Chains A and B, each alone.
Chain A
Amino acid sequence: DQQVKQNSPSLSVQEGRISILNCDYTNSMFDYFLWYKKYPAEGPTFLISISSIKDKNEDGRFTVFLNKSAKHLSLHIVPSQPGDSAVYFCAASEGQAGTALIFGKGTTLSVSS
């Protein structure tokens, strides 16, 4: 049973517009959430994270929003650029040492110029 779900396998956006990637989770013990970006034949690269004590975190063009009551988080990319085209993974952990990162299955973002 998937604890982290990314229900949209793909998303297409035009350059300069906003990209919104969504993620839902079921485990209320998760207290730390991360977004990773992955290009083919490379490992995931950390993008941005958020602790459960916050509801928003920004880093340049990337903002992550967390709605704990809905067990939902989203990644906003503004403005989107062609170089943002990649697979985006949402991940969650319980924050304790040794616990695994639980990943969603990813959303492939395509940004067209």
Chain B
Amino acid sequence: KAGVTQTPRYLIKTRGQQVTLSCSPISGHRSVSWYQQTPGQGLQFLFEYFSETQRNKGNFPGRFSGRQFSNSRSEMNVSTLELGDSALYLCASSPDGTGYGYTFGSGTRLTVV
């Protein structure tokens, strides 16, 4: 069965711009989570959506937001990009959002210049 699909794979943006990343979960999975990976901080939790509702949010500024659609596809948006937002953004889906069944996508590499 198809895995978690993230688009685009690579993105270069200018400081101050905004960006939208997309994630299509495994079919039947209703939970989508987003993580940011940077060399210094490792993988950090951004937020989790289940049935179009945000259930949990990590410790990131309000510039980071997301949403989930009725087909479970999710998008995350970062506004007013900063150089420090350069990272690999990973999406993970699971059937119900517990830790037991997370499957990760390959990520979107965002570079802010």
Contact = CB atoms under 8 A, between A and B. Distances in A.
Nearest to B41: A105
Given A43-B106, A98-B55, A98-B56, A32 B43 contact: no
Interface in B83-113: 90, 92, 96-100, 102-107, 109
Given A43-B90, A100-B58, A103-B42, A32 B100 contact: yes
Interface of A: 32, 34, 36, 41-46, 49, 89, 91-106
Nearest to A89: B43
A94 B45 CA distance: 14
Interface in B53-77: 55-56, 58
Given A43-B4, A43-B107, A44-B90, A101 B102 contact: yes
12 contacts: A32-B99, A32-B100, A34-B99, A41-B109, A43-B4, A43-B90, A43-B104, A43-B105, A89-B43, A97-B31, A98-B50, A101-B35
A98 to B, nearest CB: 4
Nearest to A34: B99
A45 B50 CA distance: 22
Interface of B: 4, 6, 31, 33, 35, 41-45, 48, 50, 55-56, 58, 90, 92, 96-100, 102-107, 109
A98 B97 contact: yes
Contacts of A32: 98-100
A75 B50 CA distance: 31
Given A43-B4, A43-B104, A98-B50, 7 more contacts: A95-B99, A96-B98, A99-B99, A100-B48, A101-B43, A101-B45, A101-B102
Nearest to A94: B99
Contacts of B4: 43
B98 A95 contact: yes
Interface centre among A41, A91, A92 (most CB of B within 10 A): A41
Nearest to B46: A100
Nearest to A106: B42
B68 to A, nearest CB: 13
